[in-house]
Amino acid sequence: MRRKRKDGGIGLARKSVLFLNLVFVVLILLSYLSSITSPSVLWALAFLGLAYPFFLCIHIAFIIFWLLSKPVYALISMMTIIVGWKFLTGTIGFRESNAIEVPKTSHDMIRVMTWNVHEFKPFDLKNNRPVRDEMLEVIRNEKPDILCLQEYYSKRRGESNIKRLIAEILDADHYHVYEEFSNPWELKGMVIFSRIPFTDTGSVKFPNSNGGNEAIYADFKYKKKKFRVYNIHLQSINFKPEDYEYIKTVKDEINTDVKSSRRIGSRLKRAFIKRSEQVIILSRHMKDYPNSVVVTGDFNDTPASFAVNKLSSGLKNAFREKGSGFGMTYNGEFPNFQIDYILVSKDFQVKSYLTINKKLSDHYPVRSDLELTP
């Protein structure tokens, strides 16, 4: 005679789910460690940090499953998520947005905006005048006091002189351009436009970086307070067209091949390691500056990464302070993540944060209204 299973026990199917749950507990805990472990030391953890949003979704699914079948086991994933609370709040803003797409409401605030503009072209690389004009219209509507652009492009004269157009749009007499490439007719690189006068400008060189991955800065004195704004573009992954085509195939058809996966993994690994080296250089440079800082730009890495957490040390993350919903700032073919940030010293009050949902470049523009405390 078959012995009946006692009420409250757990069957084979649920034991299997529990085992999988514990496996994903280990994986997400290791992804937390990626934030404090340099990829130069242990690069494999960086891949787990990149997968944090996926692990989070899996644990939410486990919570729902256990609440419907064995509620006490839901605590496993709940507690695991709570352990990584700073990564959760760096990925999702649990508040209603207080930012709308209008000019700032107070002259005491400083509006900072960052945007990887992809040379003022859409992601398909085709020159598109209407897209460029729409991007300039976004800048006109937002009226940032300080505008930091990565993958900036401008002709030196004529109707495609973007430097002249933005300076006129913002009434900004001050700009600091780093020219990654230039000739007598055009240039590309990085730029800081400002309606507030500079007191100094400079750059931070990253050794052995591919073109375009640099950091520039400008110093300001505003209402008797000194601060520095860094515009940074950390190491890109440098995917090739065949990589994006493969990623698209995987997303559309769930079809993988080992050679393509290894190639993409190798590009990611190199980028993780280079970014870890770059943020150490940049962190040392920031420590040598005695006043407040704003660090903004395209970090090319996620909230659980070593690069983001190294640079965030001792600073406020504007998204974590005032962001709402999922903080995705990248909209290209690679899985969409938050990779663009605005970080500020603790004597800045973050008044608002907004990711502007305009799919023009392969990044969304991001802006925040800041107030310096006396």
Whole-angstrom distance, CA of residue 374 vs CA of residue 370 = 13
SS3 260: helix
Percentage of the chain beyond pLDDT 70 is: 87
Other Cβ atoms less than 10 A from the Cβ of 326: the count is 14
Least confident of 183-187, 203-207, 260-264, 271-275: 260-264
The first and second tokens of residue 291, run together, are 């006043």
Q: Which run of H or of E encompasses 115? A: strand 110-116
Q: Work out the mean pLDDT of the chain and round it to a whole number.
A: 88
Q: What contacts 320, CB < 8 A, 6 or more positions away?
A: 86, 89, 90, 93
> Cβ distance 152 to 183 under 8 Å?
no
pLDDT 10s digits, 322-339:
999 988 999 876 667 899
Most confident of 50-54, 126-130, 207-211: 50-54
204 neighbors 227 (Cβ within 8 angstroms)? no
Could you report the per-residue pLDDT of 18-41, keeping only the tens digit for each?
Answer: 999 999 999 999 999 999 999 999
Alpha carbon of 119 to those of 116, 127, 171: distances in Å? 8, 9, 22
pLDDT in the model for residue 124? 58
Among 360, 340, 247, smallest CA distance to 300 is for 340
pLDDT of residue 257: 59
Q: Which residues of 259-291 are buried (b: 16+ CB within 10 A; e: fewer)?
A: ebeebbeebbbbbbbbbbbbbbebeebbeeeee
Q: Is-contact 295 114, C-beta < 8 A?
A: no
* pLDDT band, residue 82 (cuts 50/70/90): very high
Per the CATH hierarchy, to which homologous superfamily does domain 109-372 belong?
A: Endonuclease/exonuclease/phosphatase (3.60.10.10)
d(CA 68, CA 57): 17
For residue 312, what are its two tokens?
């965030």
Task: Name the pLDDT band for 105 (thresholds 50, 70, 90).
Answer: low
Judge whether residue 7 has pLDDT over 50: no
pLDDT band at 169 (very low <50, low <70, confident <90, very high): very high
Strands (E), 117-259: 146-155, 174-182, 186-194, 198-204, 215-222, 225-233
Segment 239-273, tens digit of pLDDT: 544 434 434 444 445 555 566 677 888 889 999 99
pLDDT value, residue 240: 45
Q: pLDDT at residue 45 above 50?
A: yes
Would you say residue 126 has pLDDT above 90? no
